[in-house]
Structure 1
Amino acid sequence: MGRLSVLPVLLLPLLPVLVLWQLGGARAEGTCPKPERLQNAELSESSREIQDFPPGTKISFICRPGYMRLPGKTLTWTCGADLQWSPKEVFCTPRKCRYPGPLENGYFDATDLTFGSKLTFRCNEGYRLRGKEEISCDIQKEDVGWSGALPYCEIIPCEPPPTIANGEYQERASYVYQSSVTYRCLDVPRGSDPFSLVGTATIHCTSDAHSNGVWSGPPPECRVVKCEDPRVENGRKKYGFGLPYRYNDSVMFECNQGYYMVGADIIICNENSIWNPPKPTCEKITADVCPAPKIHNGVLVPGKPAYSKGESVQIRCNAKCSFPDGSTEVTVTCQEQSSWGPLQHCACEFEGSGSTPVISYGRVIAGQKPSYFVGDFITIECYTGYTLQGEARIQYIGNNQWVPAVPTCQLSGYIIAIICVIVVVVVFLAAFWIYKKFFSQNGSYTVDERCKEICILKANVPDEMEETAQMN
C-alpha cells in the first residue's frame, strides 16, 4: 500500500503535459475535412485562407468560368457537429452555347449544347463539308460560345467531261453530283462509213472516298466498225443477213445436214471489227462420231461439240429442273451410227408468266413458244434498218425475267440520214411552190392583182351603203 500511494505524487509533474496532449488530440479530431475540389465551382478568395475547419465554420464558393449559379441555391457550406459539410448540393450548372442553326444539306447532333460539348458535322450524300468538321462550346470572355463558325455543305462538282474524237455531248454551264452526259457520234458525209459508239454512252458525276467529283467511268469512243461478211463452209446463216455489219451486229449459223457445229452458233461484231467469238466450223458427221446431243434446260459434262464412239457424257439438269423419274443427272454413251439412243429432256418448275418479251422493231427468230421454263433461250433479230442494242440470245430465269436484259432495236444511222434528206427535200419543194404560187410575177395570182381587188371593194362600199339607205 505504501508504494501505490506514492504513484500519484510522482505523476503530478506530468499532469500539464497529459492535459495538453488530450486537448490537442480533441482539436485534431474535431474539425471538418478540407473541402474537395469541385468541377463546377472553386473556393472564394477569403475561404482559401482558412486552414482549420472546426464545427460552425462557413466557407463560400464562386462558379468557375463556363458555369453559372443555379437560382435559389446557396454558395455556402457549413461545418456541422457531425464534422460534415452541408448542404452539399449542386449550385453551379454549365452554361449553354446558342443553337448554331440548321446545316443545309447536312446534319449534326444538337442534343448537348452545354459548356465543353462538341458538335460534329456531316453532309448528305453528294455534298462535301466546307469549314470546320467539329466545333466546341468554349469560354469566351465572361460567357461561352462556339470555337468556330457553322460550316456549310456544297454539292460536289465535277470537271467538264472529257471530249472524244468524232463525237460530242450537250455542254452545260456546270456539272455536279448525279448530273449526266450522253455522247453521240458525229454524222459523216453521205457514202462514208458511219461512226459507232463503243462503250457506255452515258456517264454521270459521282464522288471518290475524299468527296472529290469524278466521272462514273471513261467516255465511249467513236470508231468506224465494219466486220467482214462471215461465211461458214458446209453451213449457212440462220439470221443476220443485213450488210454491212456494224458494231454489235450479230449473225447466227446452222450446219447443213450431215454436219455438226464446232464453236458458237452466234457471233457478234465487236469494237475492233472482229467477230467474237470466232465464226464456227461445220465438221462432217462420220459413223464413229456423235454430235453433242441438244439438251433443253441442262448441260453436258464434259461439254464438247462431238464425242467418239463409246465415249460417255453426263447430262445435268439446271436448277429446279429434273428428268421424268425425278433424277437430275444421267449418263449416255455414243453408239453405232452416230446415235445416242433415246434421250430424255429436263423438265423445270414453272416460275412466273414466262411470256415472250415485246421487241419493238424486232422479232424472236428462235426458241419462241407460248410459255417458258427456267433455262429456256430465245434469239432476237431486228427488222431491216434497225440495229440490235444488247445480246441477241437471252435466257429465261423465272418471274418473267431474262438475262442478259432484253435488247432493243434502234434505227440505224444511215436510215436516219436518209429520212433527214427526204424531209429537207420536201420542205424545200413546199417553200418553192408557195413562192411560185403567191409571190412570183409569173404565177397565176400575184400580189398586185390582190391589191387591185381590195381597192375595188373599198371603192364600192359607199355606193352599196347609199343604196341600202334609200331602200330603207
Structure 2
Amino acid sequence: MRVFLCWPGQLLAVVVLVLQLAGSLEVQCPIPVIAHGQLKPAQNFTYGSVATLECDAGYIPLGATTTMRCLGSGRWHPRVPACTLGHCPYPPVVDHADRNLQREFPVGTTVTYFCRSGYTLLPEVSPITTCLKNFTWSVIPKLCQKVQCPSPAIRHGREISPRKDEYTVGHQVEFQCDPSYVLRGSQRIQCWSDGTWRPPVPYCDKVCGPPPKITNGQHSGLRTEQFPYGLEVKYSCVEGLSLIGNDSIYCTSDDGVNLAWSGPAPECRVVRCPKPTVERGRMTPQRFTFPYGAAVRFSCDEGFVLHGDAESWCLADGTWHPPLPTCRPVLCPQPQVANGRLKSTSDGKMWYQTNATVTFECLRGYRFSDDGDTSSEDSWTATCLPDGNWTPLPKCKKEGDADVCEEIHYIKTVFECGVPIAELKTLLEIQKLFLEIKKLKVELENLNK
C-alpha cells in the first residue's frame, strides 16, 4: 500500500511504505530535478543515505554544501542545492595589447584584444579568446607586432641621418639629393602608426646646370641654386646695348630623360639702324632712336601709293627688314569711252599723273549723253584723281535710237553671260516697259510739233 503526503512550503515528499518480507516499513526520499546538475548516486535514496551534487560542465553548485542526507521524514537535508553558470578568471595579459573593459566573465564570454599604438595585429591571427566550460580561456597566440615603415631609400639621393635596419612608428628621416638633382617633396618625413610615411617619400629630380653667362648682360637666375625642369631664365643687357637673340631660355628635355637649356644665350651688342626715311611718306610711331628690334610702319602722302612692305624691323646687323618701301605717284590708266575718242592726239598716253586732264569728243553720228538725254556739248573733260580713278567719263550715244540700241546690246550681253532664265525673263519685261516708255515719249514730241 502507498500513501502520498504533502507539507506546505516543502518539496513534494513521497513516503513510500514498503512492506518488507520481514514485515517492517522503510522511508525513501524523492529524486529532485536539478537544472544543469544531478545527485550521485542517482538511485536508492532511502532513509540515511547520502547524495552528492554534480553540476554539468560550465556550471558550479550554488552554495557551500554539495552533500545531502535523506531524513526519516522523507526530506533532504540541507535543502536540495542548485547549479549556476560558472565564471572564468581575468583573461590573460597579451604583450602589446589591451582588451575591452569588463569585470565578470561567465562561461561562453568572448574577449577581444586590440594592439597598442605602434603595433599591428599579426595576419591570420584572431584577437578573440573565449571562456571555456572548464573555466579556462582558449589559447591566445602572439597577437601584435611592431609597426614598421618600408625603407625610404630614394634614387639619386640619401638619408642625412644614419640608415637603420628597421623604421618604427615615430621615426623621422631627412633626405638630401645628389649634385645636379633637386628634392621634390618634403625634406623630412615620419613613420606613422599605419605603416606609412607622412608626408610621402620625396624623390630627386634632375636639374639643368647653371645657365650660360653673357658679356655686358645678366640673367634672372643669379640667385638661384637649382634649375629644375620647366624653369625660365630671362636675359637683359646693360643700358645702351641691344639683346640679340631670344631673351629667355628654358630648362627642357629633348629625350625625356636628360635636361638641357632650350637654346644658346643671347648677345649684348650695340645695334643702331639708320633713320628710315621714305620720300613723300610718313612713319609711325614717331621716334628718334632705332635700336635692335625697333619696328616702324609707313604710309604715303595723298597722290602717292606705297610700293613694298608697310612695316619694317631693325635687324641685328643694323639693317631694315623688309627693305624700306617707296612712295610712287598715283597714275590713272588711259581712259576709254565707247564711241568716243580723245580730242587731242597729245593726250594719247598710257598713264596720267594726279590732276592731269583729258578731253573727249564723240564719234560722228554720236552725241554726249547725260542721264539718258543727249547733250549739245561738243567736248567732255575728265580729271585724274589722287586715288587713281577718273572723274565720271562721258557716254557717247547714237542720235535718235541710241538708247534703244544700247539696251538691246545690254540684253544680248546678259544672255551671253549665262544669267538664269528666270532673271533673264524679268530683265526682258523691264526692257519691254522701257521701250514702251520711249515710244510714248516720241509720240508726245510729235504731237507738240
Do they fold alike, i.e. is TM over 0.5? no
- Please identify which structure carries the higher helix content: 1
Larger radius of gyration: 2
Instruction: Give the TM-score taking structure 2 as reference length.
Output: 0.34
